[in-house]
């Protein structure tokens, strides 16, 4: 039982990291676009 829980936690951590990474990329993309518009 504890092994299964450990695997779930590991998968959840990986998902959180991926979401954070995608969010950072999206924010960077948005900032780049706003900079281009402000010129």
Q: Would you kindly state where each structural domain of the chain is located, as residue ranges?
A: 1-39
Tell me: the pLDDT tens digits for 22-32?
999 999 999 99
In the DSSP assignment, the letter for residue 27 is: H
Residue 2's pLDDT band (cuts 50, 70, 90):
confident
Residue 7's pLDDT band (cuts 50, 70, 90):
very high
pTM > 0.85: no
Mean per-residue pLDDT of the chain: 91
Q: Under DSSP, is residue 1 helix (H, G, I), strand (E, B) or coil?
A: coil
Alpha-carbon gap, residue 38 to 28, rounded angstroms: 15
Alpha-carbon gap, residue 3 to 11, rounded angstroms: 12
pLDDT of 11 above 90: yes
Region 5-30: mean pLDDT is 96
């Amino acid at each position: 039982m504890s092994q299964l829980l450990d695997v779930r936690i590991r998968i959840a951590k990986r998902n959180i990291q991926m979401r954070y990474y995608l969010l950072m990329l999206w924010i960077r993309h948005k900032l780049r676009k706003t900079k281009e518009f402000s010129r």
